[in-house]
Amino acid sequence: MNTVIGKKLKVATTSLAGCFGCHMSLLDIDERLFDLIELIEFDRSPLTDIKELGSCDIGIIEGGLCNAENVHVLREFRRQCKILIAIGACAINGGLPAQRNQLSLALILQEVYHTSVGLANGLIPNDPELPLPLAKVRALHEVVNIDYFIPGCPPSADTIWKALNDILGGREPELGHGLIQYD
Amino acid sequence: MSHQLETALHPSGLRRVAIDTVSRVEGHGKVTILLDERNQVQQVRLHIVEFRGFERFIQGRPYWEVPVMVQRLCGICPVSHHLAASKALDQVVGATRLTPTAEKIRRLMHYGQILQSHALHFFYLCSPDLLFGFDSEVSRRNIVGIAAAHPEIAKRGVLLRKFGQEVIRVTAGKRIHGTGSVPGGVNKSVTLEERELLLADIYQTVGWCRDAVRLIKELHAQNPALYKEFGVCRSNTMSLVGAEGELDFYHGSLRARDGNGGILFDAVDYCDYAQYIQEEVKPWSYMKFPFFTAFGKRNGWYKVGPLARVQNCDRIPTPLAEIERREFIDYCGGLPTHAPLAYHWARMIELLHAAETIKDLLHDDDILGDDLVRTGERATEGVGVIEAPRGTLIHHYRVDEDDLVTMCNLIVSTTHNNQAMNEAIRQVARRYLDGCEITEGLLNHIEVAIRCFDPCLSCATHALGQMPLAVELVDAAGVRLHALSRNGDGAVCQPCA
Ligand code: SF4
């Protein structure tokens, strides 16, 4: 990995409507994490306590959009990050959560909160503290421009490592044989 | 077991403090607090703000897809969902008993999962609070800060998690969202080379897990009052225990105790869970609130997870962890502890137990076998229960004659702890916030209490680790009075209104 010596690149990550599996796969780089933090500095990420997203070189987003808040966070990432990477099936096409798109949201809420097994009371949560769900789960590129897509559910740690290495080194990421996978 | 502070008597006119843990950031959960004019806390709530509806859209899918699909509930403990669903579907395909190879491969996978998840939680997420202090500098409070200040601890955390992930890869085919378990058994066993690979590291792993228990004990000893009193929430507890009352993460029957340790029910077949547990829905959270039916909503809530399990079982069936369990029970004076920070100690005892169990299983030749799947008389319904890293996980399915799922009910581990987490943050708010000005350190105290439970808000939508915070004080008319946030270098700042 060769970056401009002395300057750490800022990387922010977030999970929207994802399962954190893509973040786990990033951590699956194992000891290479210690090499990575020599080259980058984490800005806002589930791994840090930083609240406000600062201006970043790279933003990595896991998960699609399932509520209004996800859209807000995504726009914020696009505004602040020079390079935006959609990581994993959920970010690229909605992934498994998008299975709900063939059903009406009202029906799903009804079944989960009114008619499912073992409920003491039926009631659909509606407090103003809860962000409004979107009628359909959406992919990130439907809302903002995305620079790179890394497929997989999740992409393997080696795939993420290779893509990050290329980008950190100022090269177009190239994922060769064995690194692109869709499961 | 009160519900004090859940709902303010007279909410109008109170100031609202939103500890927006994740809403504008991770999008998963947040805390709100209502204060009166003297800053006395009147209401505190942990809201789970994301809704995904897995239970509904699993319906109509062929049953054999389910163990692979449901893993996408959670990338942190996918194996737990993979196996709970497989166990439920074992009943559907009539596999009343698995082959020894299948049972042991699944156990190996599951104990690998416990090891990696506990290591992730302790080393990557919580150790900064415990090693640096709850109100230490924000910019250090992460794994990078640990790597700088305590490189050996960080390195071991990373390598312990790696080992757990490798056990999963070998047994499930992939580190995250593997496919190794199928209704009726498994689709692969372990080769000799794979066994050698894991055996090469297991002894060091067991040793490091012992050191981790030692580390948490030292932290307790340095500040016993804090560790005993912080956020205490007295409640019932529940976990699976094995046939002889021993700790078992993979299989057993349900046992519950009251806050004094008295048995409420025991040896309950988990297929009957619905007779014992009901769930309440509250308008302000997408996460439901389970309780023991016999004791009602007010008194029937309970805790699950490491603290419940280690105190609920009669013994731990591996020697080193059993010694640690006894020491823990003695330290607590033989009485149940309800201190959230004690979760960490219990979790490290389980980490050690998981490593010892993996070691034993690796020496068992059954894991090399090739008799993998059983089936028998078909059934239309199945319940699978497992002790996931965060506690009891319940999967329940009905399947029709076309092999399609017609009903799915999931009670994930974190959901059981919903009321307990709410109570813990109410205790912390009462103790540290009442009558005070809000500070960044206070916010982290609330987070520390939530973090003890290792909530997997991805299973109920997950927020991983150190949740960024923003706090806003708004009067009843919605006018912002005061705002605090942590900025990029971690300092608390007060934007001008
Ligand atoms: S792509 Fe897969 S691993 Fe990544 S967040 Fe979505 S479900 Fe999880």
Structure confidence by residue, pLDDT tens digits, B274-321: 999 998 888 888 788 999 999 999 999 999 999 999 999 999 999 999
Domain of residue A14, CATH code? 3.40.50.700
Is A31 within 8 Å of B396 when comparing Cβ atoms?
Answer: no
Domain interval for residue B481: 469-497
Which ipTM did the prediction report? Answer: 0.92
Q: Which two tokens stand for residue A177?
A: 């044989």
Residue B201 one-letter amino acid: D
Residues 172-211 of B with CB under 8 A from A: 174-177
The reported pLDDT for the residue numbered B294 is 95
What's this model's pTM, rounded to 2 decimal places? 0.90
B238 touching A (Cβ < 8 Å) = no
A40 inside domain: yes
The reported pLDDT for the residue numbered B251 is 98
Cα angle at B70 between B157 and A114, to 5 degrees?
Answer: 120
B429 inside domain: no
Order of strands across the sheet with B253-257?
A: B263-268, B253-257, B236-241, B302-303
Same structural domain, B105 and B191? yes
Predicted confidence (pLDDT) per residue in B409-419, tens digit: 888 888 899 89
| pLDDT exceeds 50 at position B158 | yes
| pLDDT exceeds 70 at position B496 | no
Residues 241-270 of B with CB under 8 A from A: none
Residue B410 one-letter amino acid: L
Same structural domain, B370 and B266? yes
B275 inside domain: yes
Length of chain A, please?
183
Predicted confidence (pLDDT) per residue in A80-133, tens digit: 999 999 999 999 999 998 988 988 878 877 777 777 777 777 777 777 777 788
Same structural domain, B399 and B489? no
A92's enclosing H/E stretch is helix A89-93
Is B69 near ligand 1, meaning CB less than 6 Å away?
Answer: no
Same structural domain, B387 and B495? no
| pLDDT exceeds 90 at position B247 | yes
Contact B230, B341 (CB under 8 A): yes
Predicted confidence (pLDDT) per residue in B3-41, tens digit: 677 777 777 777 776 555 432 223 366 788 888 888 788
The reported pLDDT for the residue numbered B167 is 98
The reported pLDDT for the residue numbered B40 is 83
Give just the sign of the alpha carbon dihedral B382, A116, A96, A32.
negative
CA distance A120 to B295: 13
Size of interface A-B (CB pairs under 8 A): 238
- B74 C-alpha vs ligand 1 centroid, how far in Å? 8
Same structural domain, B312 and B217? yes
- A20 C-alpha vs ligand 1 centroid, how far in Å? 7
Confidence at B481, pLDDT banded by 50, 70, 90 = very low
The reported pLDDT for the residue numbered B161 is 97
* Total structural domains within chain A: 1
Is B468 within 8 Å of A50 when comparing Cβ atoms?
Answer: yes
B28 inside domain: no
The reported pLDDT for the residue numbered A75 is 96
Residue from A96, A138, A150, A159 whose mutation best tests the ligand 1 pocket (most atoms within 8 A of CB): A96
Contact B191, B368 (CB under 8 A): yes
Pick from B245, B387, B261, B236: nearest CA to B313: B245
Chain A environment of B440 (Cβ under 8 Å): none
Same structural domain, B382 and B497? no
CA distance B316 to B324: 9
What mean pLDDT do residues B206-214 have? 98
CA distance B174 to B166: 9
CA distance B46 to B293: 23
Q: Give the max Cα distance, chain A.
A: 61
Counts for chain B of helices (H) and strands (E), in that order: 17, 17
Contacts of B188 (CB under 8 A, 6+ apart): B105, B171, B173, B180, B372
Predicted confidence (pLDDT) per residue in A29-78, tens digit: 999 999 999 999 999 888 887 778 899 999 999 999 998 889 999 999 99
B226 inside domain: yes
Q: Which two tokens stand for residue A45?
A: 């990420």
A120 inside domain: no
Domain interval for residue A163: 9-100+134-168
Closest approach of chain A CAs to the CA of B82, in angstroms?
14
Predicted confidence (pLDDT) per residue in B79-131, tens digit: 999 999 999 999 999 999 999 999 999 999 999 999 999 999 999 988 999 99
A179 inside domain: no
The reported pLDDT for the residue numbered B330 is 96
What mean pLDDT do residues B263-276 have? 97
Centre a 10 Å sphere on the Cβ of residue B38 and count the other Cβ atoms it contains: 7
Pick from B308, B455, B314, B347: nearest CA to B114: B347
Closest approach of chain A CAs to the CA of B164, in angstroms?
11
Domain of residue B98, CATH code? 1.10.645.10
Q: Is the bond preceding B128 in cis, omega lying within 30 degrees of 0?
A: no
B428 inside domain: no
A54 inside domain: yes
Confidence at B482, pLDDT banded by 50, 70, 90 = very low
Same structural domain, B314 and B202? yes
Better-predicted residue by pLDDT, B489 or B4? B4
Predicted confidence (pLDDT) per residue in A139-150, tens digit: 999 999 999 999
The reported pLDDT for the residue numbered B497 is 26
A60's enclosing H/E stretch is strand A56-62
What mean pLDDT do residues B444-448 have? 86
Question: Mean pLDDT over all residues of chain B?
Answer: 87
Listed in order, strand segments (DSSP E) in B243-327 are: 253-257, 263-268, 277-280, 289-292, 302-303
* Total structural domains within chain B: 2
Pick from B120, B113, B194: nearest CA to A26: B120
| pLDDT exceeds 60 at position B491 | no
CA distance B194 to B172: 12
3-state SS assignment for residue A85:
strand
Atom of ligand 1 nearest to the CA of A96: 7
Of the ranges A55-69, A153-167, B478-492, which one carries the lowest mean pLDDT score? B478-492
DSSP string, B356-381: HHHHHHHT-GGGG----B---S--SE
The reported pLDDT for the residue numbered B490 is 33
CA distance A38 to A133: 39
What mean pLDDT do residues B314-335 have? 96
Chain A environment of B138 (Cβ under 8 Å): 49-50
- Pick the last residue of a domain from B362, B390, B422: B422
Is B25 within 8 Å of A44 when comparing Cβ atoms?
Answer: yes
Place of tokens 């609202």: B16
| pLDDT exceeds 50 at position B471 | no
CA distance B354 to A12: 33
Of the ranges B24-28, B60-64, B383-387, which one carries the lowest mean pLDDT score? B24-28
Residues 454-473 of B with CB under 8 A from A: 458, 462-470
Of the ranges B148-152, B246-250, B266-270, B464-468, which one carries the lowest mean pLDDT score? B464-468
Same structural domain, B123 and B187? yes
A84 inside domain: yes
User: Chain A residue with minimal CA distance to B25?
Assistant: A73
CA distance A42 to B7: 38
A155 inside domain: yes
The reported pLDDT for the residue numbered B21 is 42
